[in-house]
Amino acid sequence: MHEMSYMLRLVSLAQQTAREQQIDTIKTMVVEVGGMTGVLPYYLHKYFPTAVKGTLLEGATLEIIEIPVRTRCEDCATEYEPDKGNGYCCPHCGSKNGTVIAGRDVTLSKIIGGSL
């Protein structure tokens, strides 16, 4: 149930951002979820109504953008999505020397203010 703790932190961050931007009501919260995080969007949606109750986000919608894992090959600089079918190797040169460059985070992408 770590999705609830993520959701509570995201709601807190959204409220802080709204205060800083002098937004009275949040209509939509957009969250990016990386494929490597283990966070399941289904549960973020499930816990969202409970997490926003009594906050600036009550009545708002949650949009989730799933970010696939991307890797950069250290040998040839090719960027690719690792795949079990090729043993997670670079599809260009076959190297196993890759660095993950996307898909590790859960991020509050943006908030959209407005009247509900």
Q: What is the pLDDT of residues 73-92, one digit of tens each?
A: 999 999 999 989 888 999 99
Helix ranges (DSSP H) in the chain: 2-20, 41-52
Q: Which CATH class is domain 2-67+102-113?
A: alpha beta
Per-residue DSSP letter, 79:
E
pLDDT per residue over 7-66, tens digit each? 999 999 999 999 999 999 999 999 999 999 999 999 999 999 999 999 999 999 999 999
CA–CA distance, 77 with 47 (Å, rounded to integer): 40
Domain ranges of the chain: 2-67+102-113
pLDDT attached to residue 1: 58
CB of 74 closer than 8 Å to CB of 30: no
β-strand pairing of 61-67 with 70-73: unpaired
What's the pTM value of the predicted model, to 2 decimals? 0.88
**Residue 85: per-residue pLDDT:** 87
Q: Please give the Cα distance from 46 to 39 (Å, whole number).
A: 12
Least confident of 9-13, 84-88, 100-104, 105-109: 84-88
Query: Residue-wise over 38-61: b if at least 16 C-beta within 10 A, else e?
Result: ebeeeebeebbeebbeeebbeebe
Residue 114's pLDDT band, with cuts at 50, 70 and 90, is confident
pLDDT of residue 116: 46
The span from the CA of 107 to the CA of 3, in Å, is 13
